[in-house]
Amino acid sequence: MSIFIDENTRLVVQGITGRDGSFHTRQMMEYGTEVVAGVTPGKGGQRFEDRVPIFDTVEQAVRETGANTSAIYVPPPFAANAMFEAADAGVDFIVCITEGVPVLDMTRVRPFILEKGARLLGPNCPGLLSAGKSKVGIIPGNITQPGPVGLVSRSGTLTYEVVYKLKGAGIGTTTCVGIGGDPINGTSFIDCLAAFEADPETRAVVIIGEIGGSDEQDAARYVSENLSKPVVGFIAGQTAPPGRRMGHAGAIISGSAGTAEEKIQAFQDNGIGVAKRPLDVVGLVQDVL
């Protein structure tokens, strides 16, 4: 099985005619994702690659095609409205790839989407890929293969590296999820861990965290109290200086909280094996499978 997306995913791409939207839509289609619609205001009635109908609004796209998932590739000033529009149109799962969405915008978007009963992944995330079934976002389709490992990460590039190394060792994945590194996002480590626990085909889980905040500590406690499956992990930012943001908007050590050492200790205290380097994750996974 997989979590959040599968062969029944019907995708609408918001911003399908833009540079990033068009490039990644082609990649998703090549992987086998069922892209049923695109949305670009003012270009309704056109077709993308002579196959995918383009609509002026998400509401029209959902009504005409039955789209249940959205991928958002629009500039930061318009991303909040795109998320609002998708949720208001009845989309069940919204994946926002856009980086640089203002935190203040997310304080309004997140509760609205929850109120609508939808799920948001992101913003500022690479999306997700259910191996052999569907991909929504920008994770390369050729770096993984179907298998028994679920992966959730705050870092897109570390997701790619670990998944590729796992594949090189003959280990595939059920679903790879990049939750993004912004301070306010739609889907947490715990959301993904709960979904992997409920997935009968996921036999082990990899969690990749980074400095800043306490999400990893919360996830570690959740693992010890709720997961029956083995979990291994890696924490990025072990040499980051306090007070300096590293990469993601949420990757900043404030005072004594959010350090890599604190997160590694939380993992170890709760039974999560911790890799010293990303490539060492492979050995830890082999040990628990």
The domain total for the chain is 2
On whether the CB atoms of residues 270 and 223 are closer than 8 A, the answer is yes
284, 223: one domain: yes
Using DSSP's 3-state secondary structure scheme, residue 71 falls into: strand
Please indicate whether residue 24 is annotated as part of the active site: no
User: How far is the C-alpha of 60 from the C-alpha of 63, rounded, in Å?
Assistant: 5
Angle, in degrees to the nearest 10, between helices 215-226 and 189-198: 20
How do residues 170-227 score in pLDDT, each as one tens digit? 999 999 999 998 999 999 999 999 999 999 999 999 999 998 888 999 999 999 999 9
Segment holding 158, helix H or strand E: helix 156-168
The verdict on residue 133 lying in a domain is no
Q: Is residue 165 part of a domain?
A: yes
Tell me the one-letter amino acid at 114. Answer: L
What DSSP string describes 185-243? -SS-HHHHHHHHHH-TT--EEEEEEESSSSHHHHHHHHHHHH--S-EEEEEE-TTPPTT
pLDDT tens digits, one per residue of 130-175: 999 999 999 999 999 999 999 999 988 999 999 999 999 999 999 9
CATH number of domain containing 83: 3.40.50.720
Residue at 175 is within a domain: yes
Q: Among residues 242, 221, 240, 241, which one has the least CA distance to residue 231?
A: 221
Domain boundary among 121, 156, 176: 121
The single residue of 116, 119, 248, 263 carrying the catalytic annotation is: 248
**pTM of the complete model:** 0.94
